[in-house]
Every structure is written in structure tokens, then in C-alpha cells.
Amino acid sequence: MRSEVQTFVGDGPLPDWDVSEEEFDRRERRLTAISGPVTPEEAAALATCFGPDDCYGLAWTLVHLIETAPGPVPQLADPGPDADDWAEVLWVRWGRGSELPRGLTT
């Protein structure tokens, strides 16, 4: 695993909406320092870094980076009904869940 990925993953999950500007900037720099495509191993590690909300768009950047991994997609257990929204987004986008996230209907 590349050092940039290890550093980002080592910081833990993304913070929530009350993150300081300095912390947000640091996390953004570390995330954008990771070039795609990522390996399946890196994608699986990065998938553990989602926080409670979208962290002002950084979560979407993280989703898109994870999706640069060449197939097959990383193994991810069913996130279950109490999982955060980002686990559900990856579960559905990787084709392992239903067409719509739990609780959403057409």
C-alpha cells in the first residue's frame, strides 16, 4: 500500500460538519495527494475512512477515488441497517445491494 494511502487511512474517519478549517484543509490535501487508480487493497482500506457526513464534499471525493480501483471491487460486508450512509453508497454502487439504498422507494 502506498504511503499516501497509509497516511490518509491512519488519520481515521473523515470528521463531521464542525471540523476546523485547518483540519479540513489537511485532510483534503492528504486525500488529493492519492492518485488513482488505487489498488483493490488500497480501496478496501480507504473504504474505512468515511465519517458521519459528507465532510463538505470530501466523502464524495473519497467515493470516486475508491471507484478507480480495477475490478473486482473490494470485499465489503453487508453494512446492515445501522450503517452510515457512505457504507450504503458503496454497497449499492458496487452492485451488492438493492437498486436503492435501504429505506428509499420509487
What are all long-range contacts of 59-62, with beta carbons under 8 Å and residues at least 24 apart?
59/14, 59/86, 61/28, 61/31, 61/32, 62/14, 62/31, 62/86
**Residues near 54 by Cβ (< 8 Å), separated by ≥ 6?**
60
pLDDT digits (tens, 9 = 90+) for 62-106: 999 998 988 765 555 565 666 567 667 776 776 654 444 444 433
Please tell me the distance from the alpha carbon of residue 6 to that of residue 22, in angstroms, as a whole number: 20
Residues belonging to the chain: 106
Q: What is the pTM of this model?
A: 0.76
